[in-house]
Amino acid sequence: MDNLYLPVLIFFVALLYSSVGHAGASGYLLVMALAGMTPVVMKPTALILNIIVASIATVQFCRAGYFSLRIFLPFTITSIPFAFLGGLITLPDTLYKQLLGLVLLFVAYRLFLNVEIAPSIKKPILWPIALACGAGIGLLSGLIGVGGGIFLSPLLLLMGWAKVKQQAGSASAFILVNSVAGIFGHLTALKHFPYLLPYWIIASVAGGIIGSRFGIRRLGNLTLRRLLAIVLVIAVVKLMWV
């Protein structure tokens, strides 16, 4: 599975997630969990792939004019230090799997629903709420090994703080800086990278380029996202019973 299926799965994860401005960490964690990898390998590996795909998506969406500093800044100020802090914390394997399972369930819920219809009127971002949310998202991102976009995006849309493509562009940059902060908290674990990581990086780059270009023109495919949601639920069941 490592030699053949993992690069293919990582390519499709990067393609799907980058099309909506995300980098795919929850998908990479899913793939690695199904392959039976340990958290000490999963977290830094997912963050490295996240940094690569988020960089591609950020550049693509910024060039298209969909990055907003107004959205990005208030959440990022607190998320960066808390993502670093979360990266320093090593959870017991059982607790990590339980926490990851809850995150994957939330991601599955988000993917299954068609909630990417933003309000037509943008509301001003409330800085106290944004700072608090940024800290919480950053800490959870560092603990689990994700960039936090899967939590930021629905918050922006449901609160009316951004339209779809604006949140995609800003979320990709948010994911990038959180992933970088999180990986610095994992510096002692970098020796645990799998030997096939270079192949996974190539697969994620290809998926990220194709997905982000597609997303600029047409965000997300609901059927594909719902299929991924079903796979995520299966992965959660496997996590809880292994």
What is the amino acid identity at position 77?
A: I
Residue 242 reports pLDDT greater than 80:
no
What are the structure tokens assigned to 181, written together? 């902060």
Residue range 197-226, pLDDT digits in tens? 899 999 999 999 998 887 777 655 566 566
In this structure, the number of other CB atoms found within 10 A of the CB of residue 181 comes to 24
Specify the pLDDT at position 118.
45
Specify the pLDDT at position 56.
93
Give me the half-sphere count of Cα atoms (radius 13 Å) on the Cβ side of residue 38.
10
Residue 128 reports pLDDT greater than 90:
yes
Specify the pLDDT at position 189.
55
> What would the mean pLDDT of 144-158 be, rounded to a whole number?
84
Q: What percent of the chain has pLDDT over 90?
A: 29
> What would the mean pLDDT of 178-194 be, rounded to a whole number?
76
Residue range 82-112, pLDDT digits in tens? 999 998 888 888 888 788 888 878 877 776 7
- The DSSP secondary structure of 145-185, one letter per residue, reads T--SHHHHHHHHHHTTS--HHHHHHHHHHHHHHHHHHHHHT
- The DSSP secondary structure of 63-132, one letter per residue, reads HTT---HHHHHHHHHHHHHHHHHHHH----HHHHHHHHHHHHHHHHHHHHS------SSPPPP-HHHHHH
> What would the mean pLDDT of 30-59 be, rounded to a whole number?
88
Start-to-end CA distance of the chain, whole Å, equals: 18
pTM of the model: 0.83
What are the structure tokens assigned to 138, written together? 């950053």
Residue 75 reports pLDDT greater than 70:
yes
Residue 2 reports pLDDT greater than 90:
no
Specify the pLDDT at position 81.
95
